Chain A
Amino acid sequence: QVQLVESGGGVVQPGRSLRLSCAASGFAFNSFEMDWVRQAPGRGLEWVALTSYDGGNTRYADSVRGRFTVSRDNSKNTVYLQVNSLTVEDTAVYYCARAVYGGSLDFWGQGTLVAVSS
């Protein structure tokens, strides 16, 4: 069965960096676009970034462009989100999700919490 497991979250100070990982299993990882979506505490969903099936095409939300980088290692069935220059506004649960049908997110991980605090 499809599984997505995020890791790498934690408590960090403003200005610092983290690398989030999402390990996939149960499907042909190298055939699917992968997305990152975040949710600040008590707030709605915010789309963050995507990477195409081969990593050759990436897209970002305006709020993170230039600070976040999405990448993937198809040999490890893992997608990454490098998050730099963190601010308190980046505090959220970060979900990875598999994209199908041109962008619909049919499987989601359980999320990893990033808390930015001094």
Chain B
Amino acid sequence: ILNVEQSPQSLHVQEGDSTNFTCSFPSSNFYALHWYRWETAKSPEALFVMTLNGDEKKKGQISATLNTKEGYSYLYIKGSQPEDSATYLCAFNSGYSTLTFGKGTMLLVSP
């Protein structure tokens, strides 16, 4: 069973704060690292799929970096807004058709 860890488990910030989360995954047999955004009462939606060491992806105020050699990815949110409140999931793909998900980081942004 692959071990995908996310930290922190939860985070509460004020509107306008910038924040970041960590996803740790096995550094061997790496194929891709996925990030999903999961709002309460909705279904997970894909943010990024990252494949190359050193990769950096950006969507609006959300960005992610990838280090496959040491097995971690960071997700950054610049200037958090209440609508950014969600659980952020990362998932590891070792190339065998399936994803192993972390437990997620729950972000709450207060106005």
Are A and B bound to each other? no
- Give chain B's interface residues, CB within 8 Å of chain A: none
- Give chain A's interface residues, CB within 8 Å of chain B: none
